[in-house]
Amino acid sequence: MLSNNDILRRLRYSFDFYDDRMIELFSLGDFVVNRSQVSDWLKKDDDEQMQKLSDQYLAAFLNGLIAFNRGEKEGPKPIPERRLTNNIILRKLKIALNLKDDDMIEIFKLAGTTISKPELSAFFRKPTHDKFRECQDQYLRNFLKGIQLKYRKD
């Protein structure tokens, strides 16, 4: 299972974010965090000092990533979701990186995953829609791997 901490670690690595940038991204998502918290969230799963990152904090980080990359929108800041799904995380990454469907398909392809436009669009439908499809961990994991391959400088 893909944990929120693992997602945060992968994004930090992919974009080479330093602690100050991580703190700034949480702040842009309207959550004040300190270096110690960030450090504890980024520790390996087997480290006894590792703290679990809640859905709400990951949502705030992703909202901050959107604001950082795309600029802050007029009006009130979005309220971080209390409960995240892989579909919501995928949507937030799509928005933060300003990706079109073809860009996302290419990122999946970099990670060795083939996905069609209809399959991809099913992830972004409302859960009540009959063509909605739940984004499984393997898809999100491969998307994060593709992001790393595309955006990591080395």
Q: What is the DSSP letter of 16?
A: T
pTM of the prediction? 0.95
What pLDDT band is residue 154 in, cutting at 50, 70 and 90?
confident
Percent of the chain with pLDDT over 90: 92
Note the pLDDT of residue 123: 98
Place of tokens 């904090």: 57
Give the pLDDT confidence of 37-86 residue by residue, as tens digits: 999 999 999 999 999 999 999 999 999 999 999 988 888 888 999 999 99
Q: What is the mean pLDDT of the chain?
A: 96
Note the pLDDT of residue 153: 78
Q: Tell me if 50 sits within 8 A of 43, measured CB to CB.
A: yes
Q: Give the CA radius of gyration of the chain.
A: 15
The total of other beta-carbon atoms located within 10 Å of residue 76's CB is 7
Cα–Cα dist 22/28, whole Å: 10
Instruction: List helix spans (H) across 71-136.
Output: 86-96, 101-110, 117-123
Q: What is the mean pLDDT of residues 98-127?
A: 97
Percent of the chain with pLDDT over 70: 100
What pLDDT band is residue 1 in, cutting at 50, 70 and 90?
confident
Residue spans per domain, the chain: 4-70, 86-151
